[in-house]
Amino acid sequence: MIVDRGFAAAAVFAAAAVASASPAGAVAPPPDGVYTYTQAGAPPATWKLSTLCDQVNGSRYYADYSNPLIQANFCVVNVVSTTVSNIKREEKLQNYSGRARLVGQRWTFEVKQDAGVLCPDGSTAPSTETYAFDDETLTGTHTSLHDAVCGLQPAMTKEPFTLSFQAPLDPPAQRYPLYCNDIAMCY
């Protein structure tokens, strides 16, 4: 009787653990294409994403070439962000490019903005902007950091953003531009 209750309790705890676990995010690069970037308090921007990957075959370091996480580690996502016009300061800050890599199952890249901080006297100071997004949900976090500049304390802000797919790239990007043979020689 006690053993049966023990098994029942173990089954309940196992089911609760499985039910409460957050789903694993996808690790493949997002589809190449044109996306709309939306963040509260920022002007809308257009992101063009194109992925470049190296083939993983031939590397003796990796035991399982079919593992999608290993395959994604050999990819970078090129991000080009533009706005319709760049007249206002906020719009100028939305025009940048970066190269995202997989970090903690999120595609992440950093942009140095020379005029990312607006000082109380109207001048500007540099900031570091980090964008991290999930390729499955197309949601992410924009983190802005700056040092003690123009009388301000060092600060960090985090804002959520979303991406919405608009169209494929035209012409399409070649995701695997190199051919690698069995001994990891690529050409």
pTM given for the model: 0.78
Listed in sequence order, the residues at least 6 apart from 136 whose beta carbon sits closer than 8 Å to its beta carbon are 25, 26
- CA atoms within a 13 Å half-sphere pointing along the CA-CB vector of 166: 14
- CA atoms within a 13 Å half-sphere pointing along the CA-CB vector of 105: 9
Classified as helix, coil or strand, 72 is helix
pLDDT tens for 102-126 read: 998 899 999 999 999 999 999 999 9
Predicted confidence (pLDDT) at residue 14 exceeds the cutoff of 60: no
pLDDT tens for 35-55 read: 999 999 999 999 999 998 877
pLDDT tens for 143-168 read: 999 999 999 999 999 999 999 999 99
What does the pLDDT read at residue 167?
96
Stretch 131-151: mean pLDDT: 96
Stretch 45-73: mean pLDDT: 76
DSSP3 helix / strand / coil % (the chain, rounded to 5): 15, 40, 45
d(CA 73, CA 103): 9
Listed in sequence order, the residues at least 6 apart from 65 whose beta carbon sits closer than 8 Å to its beta carbon are 56, 57, 71
Give me the helices (H) in the chain, please. 2-20, 68-73, 89-92
- φ/ψ (deg, to 5) at 41: 85, 0
Q: Across all residues in the chain, what is the average pLDDT? A: 82
Give the pairing type, strands 45-53 and 96-103.
unpaired
| Choices 1.20.1260, 1.25.40, 2.40.128, 3.30.70: CATH for 25-167 | 2.40.128
Instruction: Check: CB of residue 141 under 8 Å from CB of residue 149.
Output: no
